[in-house]
Structure 1
Amino acid sequence: MSHGSGHNPPEHAAPEHVVFEMDLTLHESRRRAEVISALGPGWDPLAVMRAEEEACDLLYSGLDARQRETYDMLVAAGVLPRREADRASD
C-alpha cells in the first residue's frame, strides 16, 4: 500500500517548529528576594540615593572655566543632566 504522492509526511515525522515557552515570573521573584536578602537589614535605599547625589554635587563643584565649558557642552549635547551650580559644600 502506498502513502500517496509524498505530500503528506509520515505520522512519526517531527514537526518543523517546536514552541518552547518558559514563564520566568517565579524565577524573577526569587532572584529579587535573594538580592534584597543579600543587601541585609541595614540597607537604606534613600541614604544610598542621597550619597550618590552628594558625590555628584562634589564632582561638579569648583570647576574652573575650561572644565565648566566642557561640562556645559556635555549638558547641551544631552550627555549629562544640568545640575545646580556649586551645590556641594566646600
Structure 2
Amino acid sequence: MSIAVLLVISATYLMGAKSLVAGRREGLSFLMGGLFLSGAVGGLYLLMTGADWLMYLLGEVEDFALLSEISPATVLLIVALPLVPMMRKMTRGMAW
C-alpha cells in the first residue's frame, strides 16, 4: 500500500516538473498537489516515528532504531521542502 502512495506522489511531481521545464504553468497545480500529498503522508509517518520514540522513552519498548523508523515518504517530504519557497515565488501576485 505504501509503495502505491509513493508512486502516486512521485508521478504527481514528475507531471508537474515536465510541464514547468517546458515553460508552461499547468505544472504548477501538479507541483502544489505533490507538495500537499508529501506533507500529508510524510507528516503522518513523522507522527508515527514520534509516537514510537515516545513509547521508547516511556519504557514500553526495549529499543528505538531511528534508521529503521525512517520511511521513504519521510525522505520524500524532506527532499520536497526546498520546493516551498519556489512555489511561493511563482504564485506571488497570482489571482486565485
TM-score normalized by structure 1? 0.29
Q: Max radius of gyration: which structure?
A: 1
TM-score normalized by structure 2? 0.28
